[in-house]
Amino acid sequence: MTNPQIKTRLPGPKAKAIIARDGVVVSPSYTRGYPLVMDRGYGAMVEDVDGNIFLDCAAGIAVNATGHSHPDVVKAITEQAQRFLHMSGTDFYYEPQVQLAEDLAAVTPIDGGVRSFFGNSGTEAVEACLKLARYATGRPNIIAFLGGFHGRTMGSLALTSSKAIQRRGFGPMLSGVYHAPFPNCYRCPIGSTAADCSGACLDYIEQQLFVHLVSPDEVAAVVVEPIQGEGGYVVAPDAFLQRLRELTRAHGILLVADEVQSGMGRSGKMFAIEHAGVRPDMIAIAKGIASGLPLGVAAARADLMAWPPGAHASTFGGNPVACAAAIATLKLLKDGLVANAAAVGGYLMDGLRALADRHCLIGDVRGRGLMIGVELVRDRQTKERAIQERDAVVTAAFNRGLLLLGAGRNTIRFSPPLVLSREQADTAIRIFDEALGEVEKQRR
């Protein structure tokens, strides 16, 4: 199925009733952009409780890598659930956890052998990387980048800097964290040209941070998203990542790639940092790894992950059912879904860029694979951010049956399941075209 079917006004009566119940008993801190109440999904399509069918270009925030309820994943989950649900891999052994660690070691771009620590989420994967970096180096400090999102627990939150609301009211933050500008070459944060932005951001680390704030020999790790997720789907230039690797190596600093959103095939390679040919010391993995089941992984060089029993653990981390789902997911990724993300992602990117000829709201289209951001602006010369217009376009797309999410202040992200077909990409482009036209008409 490629075409959405909207049968009721949105939200429909059943959806309204569930949303009303939610408002009484569920935390108001969740960011619901529009009133979708899901009933079931198949592939890249979603059906709500009122029978309306949507094309999903959000994938549960880039989680449902293999699509909704892929039969191979469901089969793996069912078979494992019938054997046993839990036995805590921190205290006992079971083969699914071992096999998943072996499978990850075979595909993770880290030199010198790979060991994995299993948690439940992306923020836990980042927390494990932070703790391991401090433990392995004996150094206290961490460098992250402005615009980055690394999680909401207290350690990872100190690194997160995509939106002030995510930090507001939770201070003081973990000490020893320093932020550097991230090379957004469309709107360089330190005023350089697109050609010079990457180098200028790295110069800031060497000429500002290392001179005025923190000695490099006291920095345990630099944590970087090869493609910033919540920060607006901003792609780090290959040269930036390559020079960053040289910089960290020169000072004995560990390089940690946060691939929670960009990993597991989404960029058209298993990990986005592979586009730059860079091999980090650790990788934080989550979201798409288990096709919707909660699982996070801190993968590290084997010699680094030498902490003793009891140094770090997780009761539910590496749950056998989640591991079974991840093993099935990895097989599907290797057997064709990573290649599909590259091919259909390129096709979708071309189609979205073509819309810029007709829609003045489009300022920039960027990304890799099926991780694409469309930044909306009110004026292409001044690059004034179209914040309200972005939200209006997302809503207009929803009303036509296309699920999208915002990223950053004024960017729309396309992060569909990696099973997306060219025909479904055409549908997404068509609906997005219509939504842009509606919002632009209202502005006149």
DSSP string of 40-92, one letter each residue: EEEBTEEEETTS-EEEESSHHHHT-TT-BT-HHHHHHHHHHHHH-S---TTTS
Single-letter amino acid, residue 39: D
8 A C-beta contact, residue 132 and residue 307: yes
Tens of pLDDT, residue by residue over 86-131, are 999 999 999 999 999 999 999 999 999 999 999 999 999 999 999 9
The pLDDT, as a whole number, for residue 60 is 96
> Where do the H-state alpha helices sit in 173-215?
194-204
Q: Work out the average pLDDT over 209-216.
A: 97
Residues of the chain with CATH 3.90.1150.10: 13-69+336-443
Could you tell me the two tokens for 368?
């890799």
Tens of pLDDT, residue by residue over 311-339, are 999 999 999 999 999 999 999 999 999 99
Instruction: Return mean pLDDT, the chain.
Output: 97
d(CA 81, CA 298): 25
Q: In 3-state terms, what secondary structure has residue 238?
A: helix
Residue 1 confidence class, pLDDT cut points 50, 70, 90: confident
Tens of pLDDT, residue by residue over 137-146, are 999 999 999 9
Q: Work out the average pLDDT over 154-165.
A: 94
Please return the burial class of 410, using the count of CB atoms within 10 Å of its CB with bins 0-12, 13-18 and 19+.
buried
Q: Work out the average pLDDT over 189-216.
A: 94
> Where do the H-state alpha helices sit in 222-337?
238-250, 320-332
Instruction: Domain 13-69+336-443: state its class.
Output: alpha beta
Tens of pLDDT, residue by residue over 260-318, are 999 999 999 999 999 999 999 999 999 999 999 999 999 999 999 999 999 999 999 99
The pLDDT, as a whole number, for residue 139 is 98
The pLDDT, as a whole number, for residue 2 is 80
The pLDDT, as a whole number, for residue 62 is 97
Residues of the chain with CATH 3.40.640.10: 87-318
47 versus 194: which is more confidently predicted? Answer: 47
Please return the burial class of 408, using the count of CB atoms within 10 Å of its CB with bins 0-12, 13-18 and 19+.
buried
Residue closest to 139 by CA, chosen among 246, 214, 203:
214
Fold of 87-318: Aspartate Aminotransferase; domain 2 (3.40.640)
Residue 424 has pLDDT above 80, yes or no: yes
pTM score:
0.96
The 10 Å CB-count burial string (b at 16+, else e) for 350-381 is ebbeebbeebbbbbbbbbbbbbbbbbbbbeee
State the first-to-last Cα distance of the chain, in angstroms, to the nearest integer: 36
> Where do the H-state alpha helices sit in 190-229?
194-204
Tens of pLDDT, residue by residue over 363-389, are 999 999 999 999 999 999 999 999 999
Q: Work out the average pLDDT over 433-439.
A: 98
The pLDDT, as a whole number, for residue 409 is 96
The pLDDT, as a whole number, for residue 47 is 97
8 A C-beta contact, residue 305 and residue 57: no
Residue 443 confidence class, pLDDT cut points 50, 70, 90: confident
The pLDDT, as a whole number, for residue 93 is 95
Residue 150 has pLDDT above 80, yes or no: yes
192 CA to centre of own chain: 27
